[in-house]
Amino acid sequence: METFNYLGQGFGVALTPYNLVTALLGTLIGTVVGLLPGIGPINGVALLIPVAYALGMPPESALILLAAVYLGCEYGGRISSILLNIPGEASTVMTTLDGYPMARQGLAGVALSLSAWSSFLGALIATCGMVLFAPLLARWAIAFGPAEYFVLMVLAIVALSGLANDRPLKTLLAALLGLFLSSVGIDANSGVYRFTFDSLHVADGIQFVVLVLGLFSVSEILLLLEKTHSGHRMVEATGRMLFNAREAASVFWINMRCGVLGFFMGVLPGAGATLASAVAYMSEKRLAGDSGRFGQGDLRGLAAPETAIGGAACGAMVPMLTLGVPGSGTTAVMIGALSLYNITPGPLLFQEQPQVVWGLIASLFVANVMLLILNVPMVRVFTRILAVPNWALVPAIAIITTIGVYAVHATTFDLVLMVAIGVLGYLLRKLDFPLSPVLLGFILGGLMEQNLRRALSISDGELGILWASPISLATWGLVGLMLVLPLWRAWRKR
């Protein structure tokens, strides 16, 4: 009952005219940003943080804006996947598998509208899950001490490498790179300058926005150069623009299953939408058996990952709000935004700042409805925006990215660093290293080191504290499982 009271208060916050306009603007900006290859949800949210701060928005409104942009980007991101076969985000890779073949069959409008509907249902299921489970998890999370947090972060890193895809070693290496990069700068405990090479520009460490925009935007610019070089053509959306009732009914149970699956995958720290969409796609493919035409334009192959992405996008906010652990790259950026407002996400956030938390949850309901209303009728308009040629699109991406980085410290050093990181990101992508783990490692790195050092300070250097409590032991058990899973999978393949 108490939960519903809080939710009511949340709607009181979300439905104020100012926050409604904020959510509407956020969904609009998010959808357009998500549309543009190179500026995915991570970049979209990162770009808007200084804007929200500069506008002097109160924290709950800033968070509503960023959450609406996040959901909007997830909506918009699928459009380039379906029409251009360019997944704007790692999570939408699975969407290309059946979405692009559908577009080539002249069903681009159906694919776009059905994926919007699926994403809406997924997000709706996950938002209900948030209302029911987030406070419970927050209460449970109070039992987490530094040692438990450390083990949880080890789990997040290992979960990424073990389950995420078929390249566990590269995923793990990418995460380790992120963990290491987080140690650059002044050590908070001892004041020692680490790997700064006497440059004051990196004394504060590598700025998160520089890393995000370098890794994702600059590397995308270089990848778009390849697409332009090879004469990659976009697909025209022809035929009908909306799905029909029969098509919606045929994927209804997939929507329900994958919505729940997406929510729980989103809640897992470090797993996020990429993992959720992959698992949803693979499980539905397995369930369909011989009846499926997965990979050739099957509706189920489109609905499954899209519902899961919608669910995971909302689910990822649960660990962000309750534990302070990002459930995805974008929520990692949002934690950075919270810190700008001196808000520390964690178990106490629900008690100390209920207007922020419940305002955000209620605004997710509002943003989802707005997105559906905006997206389905505007499918035709979006396909026209995508007709922007690369020669006009890329300079826009480059300029906006540069503004995003310069806005943080107003130094050109960051711009050069961003280009260098971008080149590294491009090489990593060309060699099949995923980039999201670098980001998650970077965000988790600082927390991980601090918690490890805090735990060992409490125990006076005794390592046993890391597995002393039942929570730590259970989490280590999960870590073991995650490490064994890829080996088991490899063994089964033989």
Partner 1 sequence: MTTQPAALVQRLFAGAWLLTCIVFAVIGWDYQAEFSYEPVGPRAYPLLCLGLMAIGLAWLIVRPPALKHEEDDAPMDAALLRKAMLCIALLLAYAGLFEPLGFIPSSALVGSFIALLYGGRPLPAVTTCTLLSAGLYLLFDCLLEVPLPLGVLERLPF
Q: Which two tokens stand for residue 468?
A: 């002393």
340 binds partner 1 (CB under 8 A): no
Least distance (Å) from partner 1 to the CB of residue 126? 30
50 binds partner 1 (CB under 8 A): yes
Binder among 264, 341, 406, 476 for partner 1 (CB under 8 A): 406
Q: Is 87 in contact with 96 (CB distance < 8 Å)?
A: yes
Q: Which two tokens stand for residue 290?
A: 């011989």
Q: Is 98 in contact with 92 (CB distance < 8 Å)?
A: no
Least distance (Å) from partner 1 to the CB of residue 267? 27
Grouping H, G, I as helix, E, B as strand and the rest as coil, residue 477 is helix
Which of 12-20, 57-65, 327-335, 401-409 is the region at the interface with partner 1 (rule: CB under 8 A)?
A: 401-409
Binder among 1, 245, 249, 431 for partner 1 (CB under 8 A): 431
Q: Is 242 in contact with 106 (CB distance < 8 Å)?
A: no
Rounded Cα gap, residues 8 and 492, in angstroms: 50
Binder among 9, 15, 170, 355 for partner 1 (CB under 8 A): 170
54 binds partner 1 (CB under 8 A): yes
Nearest by Cα to 148 from 458, 470, 478: 470
Which of 135-143, 262-270, 351-359, 430-438 is the region at the interface with partner 1 (rule: CB under 8 A)?
A: 430-438
Residue 253: other Cβ atoms inside 10 A: 12
Nearest by Cα to 211 from 379, 21, 437: 437
Rounded Cα gap, residues 384 and 388, in angstroms: 8
Give residue 292's identity as a one-letter amino acid code.
Answer: G
For residue 466, what is the DSSP state? G
226 binds partner 1 (CB under 8 A): yes
Interface of this chain with partner 1, residues 93 to 122, rule: CB under 8 A: none
- 50 or 354: CB nearest partner 1: 50
Grouping H, G, I as helix, E, B as strand and the rest as coil, residue 272 is helix
398 binds partner 1 (CB under 8 A): yes
491 binds partner 1 (CB under 8 A): no
Which of 20-28, 126-134, 339-347, 400-408 is the region at the interface with partner 1 (rule: CB under 8 A)?
A: 400-408
Q: Please give the sequence-ordered ranges of beta strands (E in DSSP) within 300-363, or none if there are none.
A: none
385 binds partner 1 (CB under 8 A): no
Nearest by Cα to 233 from 105, 77, 86, 91: 86
- 170 or 378: CB nearest partner 1: 170
Return residues touching partner 1 (CB under 8 A): 50-51, 54-55, 85, 167, 169-170, 172-173, 176-177, 179-180, 183, 187, 189-192, 194-195, 218, 221-222, 224-230, 232, 389-392, 394-396, 398-400, 402-403, 406-407, 410, 412, 415-416, 418-419, 422-423, 426-427, 430-432, 445, 448-449, 452-453, 456-457, 460-461
